[in-house]
Amino acid sequence: MPPTTPGLHHVTGIAGDPQRNAEFYVETLGLRFVKQTVNHDDKYTYHFYFGDGEGTPGTNITFFPWGDRGRPGEFGAGQTRVTTYFILPESLDYWLDRLESNEIDVAGPTERFGETVIEFDDPDGITLALVASADAPDGQPWEASSIPATHQLRGFHSVTLAVNEIDPTANVLTEGLGYGFEAEEDGRHRYRSAAGGPGSIVDLVKTEQPRGQMGTGTVHHVAYKAEDTAEQEQWRDHLASQNLRVTEIIDRKYFHSIYFREPGGVLFEIATMGPGFTVDQNHDELGTELALPEWLADERNEIESRLPSFDNPVDAD
């Protein structure tokens, strides 16, 4: 039996200004800044992780803030167009008020597959959505958030991927990752992982646009959960048998990862559940200081001097 994924692990986007990015996700959306590190493949660029109080897989949106050298991306096919979080139904009015008071334009509320959805963009143009659903998981609230625990984001509901043709990407979901077709509504094709539960939905929508261009304001990749590296080895064999080119297992410090590009153009990652964000910082210290993996520790002074200056919003109070 090939492995199947229970759903989304994290979503990684490209931001411009690191300060604006962190302030939006921490102060406006109330997420915890669970890790401040650097892009392992581009060590003079930050890598920020924002999640629930524990940085639980399935709640983390992460960014490479490219700063001044960032060029805006272009929307098109082969991209994650919307990243959707759960909120509780009683939190909808709270969020509408909060977004309005922050002068953020909101689309909706609209109904989709029987659930109420609102959409808005982050400061770089990455589209986020909130689904008000009684299925929202309890999650691990962040006590220091500016948002009361009840109303905090409850982790991922789904991602929406835009592709030129539905079938090739759908085949990877169903034959490669263990998803099944669930329903279609207004051109939105909904797939759900066999395991169900939070973050188990991927929606596919068809676009006539050419391939999008990576840059600020676009999502870089979407990651799915694997239990451990033994399971990742099974994934590598299984995905290779589907004619997908998969990377070696890469140590990302907080999890291990494999990557492949699905035929519709979206970069997929499969990441392990552990070891998690407390592997190099205490729970209470998560995100408060720049964390570097062992293999970059000797370069800390050089790295810090070349990173853009940044006032951690977590230190502000």
Footprint of Zn ion on this chain (CB under 5 A)?
12, 223, 269
**Nearer CB in complex with Zn ion: 21/145:** 21
Q: Which is nearer to Zn ion, 221 or 238 (CB)?
A: 221
Closest contact distance (angstroms) between CB of 64 and Zn ion is 10
CB of 22 to Zn ion, least distance (A): 18
Nearest approach in angstroms of CB 271 to Zn ion is 6
Select 5 or 12, whichever has its Cβ closest to Zn ion: 12
Of 31 and 117, which has the nearer Cβ to Zn ion? 31
Closer to Zn ion at the Cβ: 12 or 193? Answer: 12
Give me the least distance between CB of 221 and Zn ion, in Å please.
6
Report DSSP letters for the chain, one per residue.
Answer: ------SEEEEEEEES-HHHHHHIIIIIS--EEEEEEEETTEEEEEEEEEESTT--TTSEEEEEE-GGG--B-B--BSEEEEEEEEE-GGGHHHHHHHHHHTT---EEEEEETTEEEEEEE-TTS-EEEEEE-TT-------TT-SS-GGGS--SEEEEEEEES-HHHHHHIIIIIS-EEEEEEETTEEEEEETT-STT-EEEEEE--SPBPB-SBTEEEEEEEEES-HHHHHHHHHHHHHTT---PPPEE-SSSEEEEEE-TTS-EEEEEES-S-GGGSS-GGGTTSSB---GGGGGGHHHHHHHSPP---GGGG-
Instruction: For the CB of residue 57, give the shortest distance to Zn ion in the complex, in Å.
Output: 11
